[in-house]
Amino acid sequence: MSPTSAPPPDLSALLARIALRERAAFEPLYRATCAHLLGVAYRVLNDRDRAEDVLQEAFINVWHNAAGYRPDVAAPMTWLINIVRNKAIDALRSGKTERASTVALDDDAMAVAGDPALEPQRLLDDGLTKARIDGCMAALNASQRQALALAYYRGMVHTDIALALNAPVGTAKAWVRRGLDKLKDCLGAAGVGA
């Protein structure tokens, strides 16, 4: 994250705006989630074109049913993943007759082990962890967030951070230290890194 980049969008707020039919909220929601959600659909269907179709149907569903989202029941990304996963499973079931008419794969083709990192449950868990981390990062003030981003994503030391943010070295150190402390507490409370 560069010092000029914006923090990740608040998905709950975007869904609330979409529930009010605010079109301007739809694009940032789509941009923030489409790559991950396409991956979820692809893992279920193993077909890029069908996964894209499912993603389109899922976002239409989100547009029409955003008012049904309840933040007390699920995180926004969890809700979105469930919509996409259910649409993908429906598409998979409807494609059974299509698959029945295709040539069966031999046993050797079926013996190929899947990548555990790409299993749907693992992707869901990783997505939930990322959402919790994003939430904790959003809880930091802008200076702390920028200082941590420069330290971890660009490998800058305190003096470089101070120069980049036009602040005294002691202030830059405090931003990093306090930001890390707040991040550690927040992630611990969210059950991340345990």
Residue-wise pLDDT for 25-81, tens only, equals 999 999 999 999 999 999 989 889 999 999 999 999 999 999 998 888 888 999 999
Do residues 86 and 161 both lie within one domain?
no
Looking at 52, 81, 101, which one is the last position of a domain?
Answer: 101
* Per-residue pLDDT at 110: 56
pLDDT at 126 over 80: no
Phi, psi of 92 (to 5 degrees): -65, -45
DSSP 115: P
Do residues 95 and 31 both lie within one domain?
yes
- Average predicted confidence (pLDDT) for the chain: 84
Say how many C-beta atoms besides its own lie within 10 A of residue 117's C-beta: 8
pLDDT at 1 over 50: no
112 is a domain residue:
no
Mean pLDDT score, 113-123: 69
State the CATH number of the domain containing residue 77. 1.10.1740.10
State the CATH number of the domain containing residue 168. 1.10.10.10
Tokens 């991950």, residue?
36
In the chain, which ranges are E strands? none
Looking at 53, 85, 101, which one is the last position of a domain?
Answer: 101
Looking at 44, 72, 101, which one is the last position of a domain?
Answer: 101
- Give the C-alpha separation, 118 to 47, whole Å: 14
Q: Which of 90, 89, 91, 65 is CA-nearest to residue 79?
A: 65
86 is a domain residue:
yes
* Per-residue pLDDT at 194: 47
* Per-residue pLDDT at 107: 59
pLDDT at 7 over 80: no
* Per-residue pLDDT at 87: 92
- Give the C-alpha separation, 7 to 19, whole Å: 22
131 is a domain residue:
no
User: What is the domain range of residue 12?
Assistant: 8-101
Instruction: Give Rg (Cα) of the chain.
Output: 21
Do residues 74 and 149 both lie within one domain?
no
Tokens 């991040």, residue?
183
* Total structural domains within the chain: 2
Do residues 93 and 151 both lie within one domain?
no
- Kindly state the helix (H) or strand (E) to which residue 81 belongs, with its residue range: helix 76-94
Do residues 12 and 86 both lie within one domain?
yes
Q: The tokens of 45 are what?
A: 């269907």
DSSP 3: T
Q: Which of 123, 132, 118, 125 is CA-nearest to residue 8?
A: 132
* Per-residue pLDDT at 14: 92
Do residues 96 and 147 both lie within one domain?
no
CA torsion sign for 24, 56, 74, 188 is negative
Tokens 């002691």, residue?
170
* Per-residue pLDDT at 124: 75
Identify the weakest region by mean pLDDT among 62-66, 108-112, 117-121, 143-147: 108-112
